[in-house]
Amino acid sequence: MGFERVLLALVVAAALSPLSQSEGRLLRVRDALLRIEDVDGPVVPVLHQGATQLFLERGARHAKEARIDVVSVHAPEARRTVWSGARPFAWDVGDADADETPEVLVGLPRAGTGGELRLVSGASGAHLRVHSAENGHDRFGASLAFLGDVDGDGCADYAASAPQLAGRPIAGGWSVRDSSGTLGWVRVFSGADGKELWRTSGLADDQGFGSHVAALGDLDGDGSPDLLAQAHPGSDDPLVLLSGASGKVIAHVPHRGWWAGAAGDLDADGVPDLFLETGDSEGSERFGSPTFLSGRSRQPLFDLRGRPGQLWTSGEGSIAALGDLDGDGHDDVGLGLASAEALRLEPDGREVPCSGCVLVLSGRTHEVFLGVYGEPGTRAGLGMDLAALPDVSGDGHPDLVVTSWQHAYVFPGPGKR
Ligand SMILES: [Ca+2]
Ligand SMILES: [Ca+2]
Ligand SMILES: [Ca+2]
Ligand SMILES: [Ca+2]
């Protein structure tokens, strides 16, 4: 997506609904409670649920090597490296053995023969477990997610996919096809002992089933967290919602975009909701305003067409379920627009250049109630990733961590509004 286009569209979008006309709050980089310095590349924060430890992936964007550091927001100078080596294609954090110290699951679809999955101790960095691919073209570990406890033993379980993108020219060399089928698989493993709990495949060859998996929370009300699995846009069955307990299909969802994930319970009906990146009609340009869907009915709750955040794109930003940041009983959702360079949002209508931004939308009103903006002209890429953080500021309400190309910042949350 061209920069000029982002600029133009964001200016237009913001002018339609300026933050200054709502009860929203505007924060700048200088308002950060904490800035985690000296990071040498794009930073991806992952939080263990309820914890103030950040797991940060570091390393230059196109480098083959990367590392994952653990940083406590209460003592950011003390860092530990838990992963150092090949850049993870995918990774997530969860407590696989219920000892309250999270583990890191790392997906390496280029490793070994057909890819592998490694479970790494978040405490020591020790490699606790390796799952290997079954076929040379599996691309096993291309996507993964801690789901929560699907089998009721108290330990967080995890899903990993083998999208089997054989026969496609993909950089890195996964293009060898063999005769064992290319349906694509999603497999779920016990966190406690690594045993496979279930697996399910796509419906047809070569559709990239499992190209993305994501944890959603309990959709069908059986007490066990569920997940989504995507195939390629345009395939016969591009998005399915799967029972975490059994792998059975809860629903097939029409979807034309590349990305989907958890949004939290936006409409407060007790069922977690989800977002879909909307496919764009303009050929191969892959950007798409998110649409939010009810997890209960799978019908749209709202979208962002013509509004701030409409040009959110998975390629240049992030989207994150933030929980109920403002205490109104509805979960809220954050959009990171790392390539946004200008927004018209001052009360007098002045255009304020910034370098990336984050917009936090209310699940209740669907309006932006908190904006965080990068420093003008720095092209810092604020909004590469974001997550909610348990209270750091001391007001008893959750806060926010946002990353740029090179830093992680903790910002005060909105408090109870
Ligand atoms: Ca379990
Ligand atoms: Ca369930
Ligand atoms: Ca809901
Ligand atoms: Ca809320």
Give the number of the ligand closest to the Cα of residue 270. Answer: 3
How many other CB atoms are there within 10 angstroms of residue 223's CB atom? 11
Rounded CA Rg of the chain: 20
Give the number of the ligand closest to the Cα of residue 333. Answer: 4
Distance from C-alpha of 252 to C-alpha of 247, rounded to nearest angstrom: 13
pLDDT on residue 52:
81
| Among 83, 101, 99, residue whose Cα is nearest residue 91 | 83
Q: In which band, very low, low, confident or very high, does the pLDDT at 39 lie, cut at 50, 70 and 90?
A: low
Residue 231 class from Cβ within 10 Å (0-12 exposed, 13-18 middle, 19+ buried)? buried
Helix (H) or strand (E) holding 6: helix 3-16
Residues with CB under 5 A from ligand 1 (ion): 149, 151, 153, 155, 157
Q: Is 163 helix (H, G, I), strand (E, B) or coil?
A: coil
Average of per-residue pLDDT across 141-158: 97
CB of 332 closer than 8 Å to CB of 264:
yes
Find the range with the poorest average confidence among 44-48, 85-89, 325-329, 359-363. Answer: 44-48
Distance from C-alpha of 259 to C-alpha of 229, rounded to nearest angstrom: 10
CB of 261 closer than 8 Å to CB of 277:
no
What does each C-alpha distance from 88 to 40, 92, 175, 213, 344 come to in angstroms? Answer: 16, 10, 20, 16, 37
59-68, 73-82, 289-298, 311-320: which has the highest mean pLDDT?
Answer: 289-298
Residue 367 class from Cβ within 10 Å (0-12 exposed, 13-18 middle, 19+ buried)? middle
CB of 208 closer than 8 Å to CB of 165:
yes
Give the number of the ligand closest to the Cα of residue 263. Answer: 3
Q: How far is the CA of 28 from the centre of ligand 4 (A)?
A: 21
Its pTM stands at 0.88
pLDDT on residue 307:
76
Q: Is the pLDDT of residue 3 over 50?
A: no
